[in-house]
Structure 1
Amino acid sequence: MIEFRSLTDDHPDLAHSPLLRAALLTLRYAQAHGSIGLTKTKTFKRVFVHWAVEHFDWPGKSAAEMFRYSKVINEYDFPPLEVLHYLLITLRLGRHFKGEFRLTRRGSDLAQAPAQLFAELIPFFVLKIDHASYARFQERPFGKWDVWMNVINVEADHGTTERALFAAFYGEEHDWDNAGWREMAAFSSCVLRPLEWTGLLVQTREERSGKHVHHVFKTPLWRSALKLDTDGMLQPVSVQ
């Protein structure tokens, strides 16, 4: 069972969520400007895409790095914004009207209510979206969220690696340098990345013996926002 706890608007752990931050910025931008312009294909116009790249502070996609390779960035070049646009429309926080993205009344209300927006946006994104649809490879890992999150709750409690997490579900024989790399890529894209985008997990990367090792940690937001069946299995954090 997965339960998201209710938080307050001023809860400090909400700051760990890149997706929530991006949603608040987008809603408030549309509120302040009256709307966001759309292209003929109903994507956000580049002027807003560039603003989003500069202000979202997205992990691994800094403005300096993105603009280093291209001075022209479209919505589909910035996947977090493309996914967020879909979420805001699907949840009816915004709508397309006469070539513009405009907030609904509910979107305007949630622009000033971070905790309520988190409660609307994050469970829907994690549990309801087909994460393979925007991944590089459209392959889905075998499993379900209830099992993934309850096992990650224990395995990553004091930090682990991407490969160790994968092995906990699917066995030790898979690795990035053998035939199991596609299964690992699907797990990373459809399970770990969504949890990182929401701010429930954070990953750090290092090079060890010529290989890139991804470390995975639960954030304070995981601990404050989630109630899981395996919570009773966790070891208390010792305080020195």
Structure 2
Amino acid sequence: MAEAARKRRGRADEDALFDRQLDHLPPEARWREWMNRVEATIFAASEPVGREALAKIVGKSCSIDLLIDDIREELRGRPYDLVSVAGGWKHLTRPAYADAIRAAVGGGETKTNLTQSDVLVLMCIAYFQPITRGELSSFFGKEVSRDLIGHLRGAKLIASGPRSPTPGAPYTYVTTKEFLLEFGLDTLRDLPDFEALEDAGLLSKEKLLAGDIPLGLVGSEEAIDEEEPEADVVEALLP
């Protein structure tokens, strides 16, 4: 208890020493300094920086959204941008420069090697979470393998959700923050509209229900489809 109190006092002392308000500066200079602080913090961070963290370095009356808008406006002609992703903000290079970066330093591939089957199962989890493996299998008309689920869990794209209220209380699966980062989404609300995907011919619920999409089968001689994800399906998930 005493140690926790000392840590709280230490943080309070640090906050007292750090001038968030900048009342001594004229308004324009104050705003510029807040912009610099926010951009520097996001630039230095390896993960998206959330609103709560940014609120610690600017004045209480400061609008973080307006700061971000002004920073993005200044970056309009730059090869990188400040992007809202996974509940925070992160510096990302613009897609138009992906080939140049790849030619110069290599890399640039998708962080996780996903097969077509992985993408389709992941898409269903994203849209219908929390969902059990049995429910996924029923949806596709074929059994979704434990190995496939394990691959997505190992990539940290999905995690265990609450136990299902159905008999046996099986685990459900939900997407993660890493899923949002992988596909450049801020929240799940940014997923493409399911009906829009059907209308565009990128996804057919009827085919999924009929089991026409190849998936890895438990106890089956049929191998998991190891092809690369279809570009149109992957691009449909991207903002």
User: Could you state the TM-score of these two structures normalised by the residue count of structure 2?
Assistant: 0.28
Higher relative contact order, structure no. (Cα contacts within 8 Å, ≥ 6 residues apart)? 1
Which of these two proteins has the greater Rg computed from alpha carbons?
Answer: 2
